[in-house]
Chain A
Amino acid sequence: MAVFEDVDVKEGVDQETVEAVQSLSGKYKYGWETDIEMEYAPKGVNTDIVRLISGKNEEPEWMTEWRLSAFARWEQMEEPTWAMVSYPTIDFQDIYYYARPKSMEVKPKSLDDVDPKLLATYAKLGIPLKEQMILAGVEGAEGAPAEGRKVAVDAVFDSVSVGTTFQEELKKAGVIFCSISEAIREHPELVKKYLGTVVPASDNFYATLNSAVFSDGSFVYVPPGVRCPMELSTYFRINAENTGQFERTLIIADKGSYVSYLEGCTAPKRDVAQLHAAVVEIIIEEDAEVKYSTVQNWYPGDENGVGGIYNFVTKRADCRGDRSKVMWTQVETGSAVTWKYPSCILRGNESQGEFYSIAIANNMQQADTGTKMIHLGKKTKSRIVSKGISAGKAQNTYRGLVSMHPKAKDSRNYTQCDSLLIGDKCGAHTVPYIEVRNNSSRVEHEATTSKVDDEQLFYCRQRGMDEEEAVALVVNGFVKDVLQALPMEFALEAQALVAISLEGSVG
């Protein structure tokens, strides 16, 4: 890779890691575009556009009003500037807020009726839109169980969902999995009850914009006591030029349920940057568990920083019930600019939040990402493991908040964030906020090595490793576990990442 040839990689950085970063951030594989006839709403955003989007989705009046009030608020808001990213001013009136393939004008009754060009697009991306087992031996599927497994997919193309697979089979289990536009029409009581309760319409500049103009996204409801029989996934594809993608995801795991949800995203190579401002809300009731995994692979722009996606995303999970649990796993390799903090509100007693992140930024990419762990309930636990790798002229920032409220007695947090620089033209930054308001909780931010699980350490040392090696093994091994647990769709990326070690980290 040209960018790496003239870079002196400092001693101590693992060669395999450098190669893995190269291979991940090499030629962007998904940069092609689908030649398909589109229909657009006029450029720009105003109340007419908000009404138009709402109308296209055949929404009830209350939804239109909700959007309009968000829009009115957005007009009063200012774009945030606190993140360590810089990009040219976005002209919010020079974006198409709605773009739909012409062939989607009449909603296809089944996947068989979907425009073959769209199906071909997803086939080329390796996303199965046919209801079939994914078999071992498929590229990237190494390590999958031999008998194959099912993954239900909601495929979002620019502003609309083109189809959702396995809906019938999921329905038998009681699981609702559909596009959010369909949910607003078919399950208004659920949407009304939960939408905007985790990320309020007034939350922040981009989330408020999203609340006004979101065009589609996915909706999941897992009823009490149900373990979702397959993994659910949404694949976001931006195709049209000069469009912004604003999708909204709402996941509800009712009491005692479980669901694993995956998200993937790609976009064509273009020399004009495109905006992606999504909102993901997750509600987790008593004893329920949600795993949310993302491989973010938006077009990062070229090596001179031309083009790419501005990924300004608000993701938040609300662990409402006691003993509820959420796990965010993210692998961030794409986007020109990332601004993303998947967060956990640990409201239920003994609820748990976990955040595992690997962010790789190369060339001119800028990533400002991290998490918030807000401990409100008693005996809540959170764990943050974040690995940031910068190469080229990229800037990678971990930004996080751990907050222990006075009532969150006996809670625990452990945070570990490492950064690695490949070359001397890039940057790695850490901005953790720690707020502890009671004394029965323990918060440790990258505390001493002994804070890594003592038993694991003891085991390693017993086998002759020195403490540093043992810690490295435990920490890296831990990340590898997480990666290997990533769903099969992400197996390729995950396997490349497994080679990454944070040896030689700067801080």
Chain B
Amino acid sequence: MALRQTKEDATTARLEGCSLPEGGSWATAARKSALARLQDMGLPTRRDEYWKFTRPDTLTSSEVPRAAVFDPKDEPPVFDAIDRLKIVFVDGVFDPEASDDLAMAGVKIERLEHAAESDIHWAKELYGKLETNGQTPVQRPLAAMNTAFATDGLIIHVTKKAARPISLIYNHGSDDSDVLLHHVIKVEPGAELTVLENGPAAARFNKVMEVEVCDGAAFHHVRAQGRDHERRAVTHLFGRLGAESTFKSFTLTANGVLTRNEVVLEMIGDDSVAHVAGAALGDGDFHHDDTIFITHDAVNCESRQVFKKVLRNGATGVFQGKILVKAGAQKTDGYQISQALLLDGDSQFLAKPELEIYADDVACSHGSTTGAIDEEALFYLKSRGVPETEAQDLLVKAFLAEAIDEIENEEISEDLTARLEGWLVRRRG
């Protein structure tokens, strides 16, 4: 098989000169097994069905595509006004100077680097484990690569309701940085945590976050993927949801030559709730891919996927969403909507909203629509004296509102709405 051989060769070439990081026994075992998984799967190619709409070559190439560091000028960073615990990474390396003390009541924060040195650690039960579960039925070789080679990241153990969000800030320092970050988060029964993420991180960024949300616990995740246009990113968010737990994730993406965000959730406890949402604004040389896989493996769980993309000047939006309802996962309520607003004739939206259902007493819906701005609505606004550009912006905001509404925290949602407006204003300029 020619394809198999090509993959093997490409994987060998990519891994040339890479060696597994040193560590304690649990971390070494986890990394070795991840490397074996990666070598078995091979790195993705354009011919992989799961990469049909997004070219993986710049994510897998041995050479890092350069990305100039973006200068935000005097624009205030996102989440700046929010009371939070800041943890800063520069090109994937923890920056203690810029970070707050890693201390908060009910929350223990460690660095992967340190946790991996010990021979025994609770993270053993999660590190690479949720990633492994997420490798079937669809392979995610870039996540396995991350588990094998990541040296930094955070190991967070939450035992109570965290008073403030943990805010992860990924700064970009050099124009050829190639970064792997791996976080592991465990939210114990009844505990709650909000994680914020922002920043471009590196020229090429590969991030994995594994999150165990135990019975009755809640995990909130809000991410703003920066204005830094030239960076490339592939992120994987693996989640496992216990009974009556809540998992909510929202991502706002503006610009970025290549972004692929994968979210892979297993709902193993009854009555759990998972919401995954995103709004993306793309202009020109922009490629944004949301790939979501939610597995219902318990009774009476609810999942929602709400993704909206506004695309112009030849931008490309991709949505691959899947709801898998396993046999016995009765009373599942699955909802999935993906919509694109194409502001001109050069942009494109490619979608695969998928369902796989093995239980008969469930309701799953999957809608997907693509089209231009509604001319009638535009006309209506103009006839009432709203100038054309403002009318367009209004309609764009209205279009994105359903996704933005998925953010529970109002302060955060307002902050992100302001970013959105910034994008619209710049777009005019």
Residues of A within 8 A of B (CB): 9-11, 78, 82, 84, 404, 406, 409, 419, 421-448, 506-507
Tell me the minimal C-beta distance from A24 to chain B in angstroms: 19
Q: Are A434 and B351 in contact (CB under 8 A)?
A: yes
From DSSP, what is the main secondary structure of chain B's interface residues? strand
Report B-chain residues with C-beta under 8 Å of the C-beta of A435.
348-351
Q: Are A406 and B345 in contact (CB under 8 A)?
A: yes
Cα–Cα distance between A419 and B357 once the two chains are bound (Å):
9
Q: Are B347 and A439 in contact (CB under 8 A)?
A: yes
Contact of B355 among A426, A430, A434 (CB under 8 A): A430
Tell me the minimal C-beta distance from A199 to chain B in angstroms: 22
Not counting A428-B357, A431-B354, A445-B351, a sample of 20 additional A-B residue pairs whose C-beta atoms are within 8 angstroms of each other reads: A404-B370, A406-B345, A421-B360, A429-B354, A429-B355, A432-B366, A434-B350, A434-B351, A435-B348, A436-B348, A436-B350, A439-B342, A439-B371, A443-B370, A444-B369, A445-B368, A446-B368, A447-B369, A506-B357, A507-B334
Q: Are A448 and B367 in contact (CB under 8 A)?
A: yes
Cα–Cα distance between A424 and B331 once the two chains are bound (Å):
12
Residue with the highest number of chain B CB atoms closer than 10 Å, among A9, A421, A422, A423: A421
Cα–Cα distance between A425 and B360 once the two chains are bound (Å):
8
Cα–Cα distance between A428 and B363 once the two chains are bound (Å):
12
Q: Are B372 and A439 in contact (CB under 8 A)?
A: yes
- 4 interchain residue pairs of minimum CB distance: A507-B364, A439-B342, A421-B360, A442-B371
Name A446's closest neighbour in chain B (CB-CB).
B367
Q: Are B342 and A438 in contact (CB under 8 A)?
A: yes
Q: Are A424 and B370 in contact (CB under 8 A)?
A: no
Report B-chain residues with C-beta under 8 Å of the C-beta of A423.
360
Contact of B353 among A11, A78, A409, A445 (CB under 8 A): A445
From DSSP, what is the main secondary structure of chain A's interface residues? loop
Cα–Cα distance between A443 and B342 once the two chains are bound (Å):
12
B58 at the interface (CB under 8 A from A): no
Q: Are B367 and A507 in contact (CB under 8 A)?
A: no
Report A-chain residues with C-beta under 8 Å of the C-beta of B348.
435-438
Q: Are A441 and B360 in contact (CB under 8 A)?
A: no
A to B CB contacts below 8 Å, 15 in the list: A404-B370, A419-B357, A421-B360, A424-B327, A424-B361, A428-B355, A436-B340, A436-B349, A439-B342, A439-B372, A440-B345, A442-B369, A443-B368, A506-B357, A507-B366
Q: Are B353 and A424 in contact (CB under 8 A)?
A: no
Report A-chain residues with C-beta under 8 Å of the C-beta of B351.
432-435, 445
Tell me the minimal C-beta distance from A253 to chain B in angstroms: 31
Cα–Cα distance between A430 and B357 once the two chains are bound (Å):
9
Q: Are B345 and A424 in contact (CB under 8 A)?
A: no
Report B-chain residues with C-beta under 8 Å of the C-beta of A84.
356
Q: Are A445 and B355 in contact (CB under 8 A)?
A: no
Q: Are B353 and A432 in contact (CB under 8 A)?
A: yes
Q: Are B357 and A427 in contact (CB under 8 A)?
A: yes
Report B-chain residues with C-beta under 8 Å of the C-beta of A445.
351, 353, 366-369
Residue with the highest number of chain A CB atoms closer than 10 Å, among B325, B343, B351: B351
Cα–Cα distance between A447 and B366 once the two chains are bound (Å):
8
Tell me the minimal C-beta distance from A402 to chain B in angstroms: 9
Tell me the minimal C-beta distance from A381 to chain B in angstroms: 14
Report B-chain residues with C-beta under 8 Å of the C-beta of A11.
361
Tell me the minimal C-beta distance from B82 to chain A in angstroms: 34
Cα–Cα distance between A404 and B372 once the two chains are bound (Å):
13
